[in-house]
């Protein structure tokens, strides 16, 4: 049986799987829905399974090939030992599974190897630095306890601000009209419509918050400014570890750029590749001890 490698990048919005051959050529890709163990371990496993099935299908390979496939899986929340164990104990059927945080595989991708620093600002947020085998995570406490500056945090802060404004207990904001239109109601109707909202649902409001900040709405500007200041502080902490490179990743990378301090911006390097390529590099490094980049036509521009 031939040996394959799977790189799996789970996130609050999507789960991406990339399949490559032993010599590093990508032969299949698959995408599935949300894979965030903080929200649901069972849903995460479903999304991983679906993305892997899609990647196998894309490569024209039968499911039986999983037995010869080594998987590198990066997920939010597995910095928590209990969540790590739940995923690690899953009877996955791979030849081997190498599980780590979404942050570490993002770092592998961004810097084409283990060493460097990354700040992720997407649906969730977190940061990671690795220098000569010394690794440290900042944040990554999930939506309930952290995720400051993330899309989910921005959207949630905006909803809170709109509800307070609606009661005359906080400043008026252009976010009120914008969110009422998206959510389809204000006050208790807004609360009702968002009662079962996930971090992903809140994150969908993030571009609206940046739009309002761009139009000089004071409340939106304060929210975005608080997020940017948190990212600046995070960048400072990471830089103290003296990483060879540092990158800002995630869906909000471009939107935050004009709000970050010059000190942060001048230290940022563009990521070499996306996290799913990082997951492949991670698993190949673990299995083959191969620190080189993943070959293939799109290793530098996946996703």
Minimal distance, residue 146 CB to its own copies, in Å: 6
Q: Of the candidates 192, 242, 254, 291, which one interacts with its own copies according to CB under 8 A?
A: 192
SS3 state of residue 130: strand
Q: Is 81 in the site for its own copies (CB under 8 A)?
A: yes
Q: Of the candidates 43, 65, 237, 286, which one interacts with its own copies according to CB under 8 A?
A: 237
Q: Which stretch binds its own copies (CB under 8 A): 8-16, 108-116, 145-153, 267-275?
A: 145-153
Long-range contacts of 49-53 (CB under 8 A, 24+ apart): 50/15, 51/8, 51/15, 51/16, 51/17, 52/6, 52/8, 52/17
- d(C-alpha 76, C-alpha 168), whole Å: 38
Minimal distance, residue 255 CB to its own copies, in Å: 21
Q: Of the candidates 63, 67, 181, 188, which one interacts with its own copies according to CB under 8 A?
A: 188
Minimal distance, residue 247 CB to its own copies, in Å: 18
Q: Which CB sits closer to its own copies, 164 or 288?
A: 164
Minimal distance, residue 303 CB to its own copies, in Å: 28
- d(C-alpha 205, C-alpha 241), whole Å: 34
Q: Is 79 in the site for its own copies (CB under 8 A)?
A: yes
Note the residues at the interface with its own copies (CB under 8 A): 79-82, 138-139, 141-142, 144-146, 148, 159-160, 163-164, 167-170, 188, 191-192, 194-195, 230, 233-234, 237
């Amino acid at each position: 049986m031939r040996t394959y490698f799977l790189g799996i990048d789970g996130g609050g919005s999507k789960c991406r799987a990339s399949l490559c051959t032993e010599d590093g050529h990508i032969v299949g890709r698959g995408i599935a829905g949300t894979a965030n163990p903080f929200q649901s371990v069972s849903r995460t496993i479903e999304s991983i399974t679906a993305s892997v099935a899609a990647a196998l299908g894309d490569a024209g390979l039968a499911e039986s090939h999983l037995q010869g496939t080594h998987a590198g899986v990066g997920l939010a929340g597995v910095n928590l030992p209990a969540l790590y164990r739940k995923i690690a104990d899953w009877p996955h059927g791979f030849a081997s599974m190498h599980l780590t945080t979404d942050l570490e595989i993002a770092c592998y991708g961004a810097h084409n190897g283990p060493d460097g620093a990354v700040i992720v600002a997407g649906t969730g947020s977190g940061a990671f630095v690795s220098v000569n085998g010394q690794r440290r995570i900042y944040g990554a406490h999930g939506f309930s306890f952290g995720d400051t500056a993330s899309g989910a945090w921005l959207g949630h802060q905006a909803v809170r601000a709109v509800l307070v404004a609606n009661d005359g207990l906080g400043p008026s904001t252009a976010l009120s009209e914008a969110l009422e239109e998206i959510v389809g109601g204000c006050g208790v109707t807004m609360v009702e419509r968002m009662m079962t909202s996930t971090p992903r649902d809140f994150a969908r409001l993030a571009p609206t918050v940046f739009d309002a900040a761009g139009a000089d709405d004071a409340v939106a500007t304060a929210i975005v400014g608080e997020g940017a200041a948190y990212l600046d502080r995070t960048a400072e902490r990471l830089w103290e570890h003296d990483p060879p490179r540092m990158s800002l990743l995630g869906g909000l990378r471009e939107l935050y750029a004009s709000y970050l301090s010059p000190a942060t911006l001048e230290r940022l390097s563009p990521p070499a590749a996306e996290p799913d390529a990082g997951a492949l590099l991670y698993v190949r490094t673990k299995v083959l001890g191969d620190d080189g980049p993943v070959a293939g036509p799109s290793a530098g521009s996946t996703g």
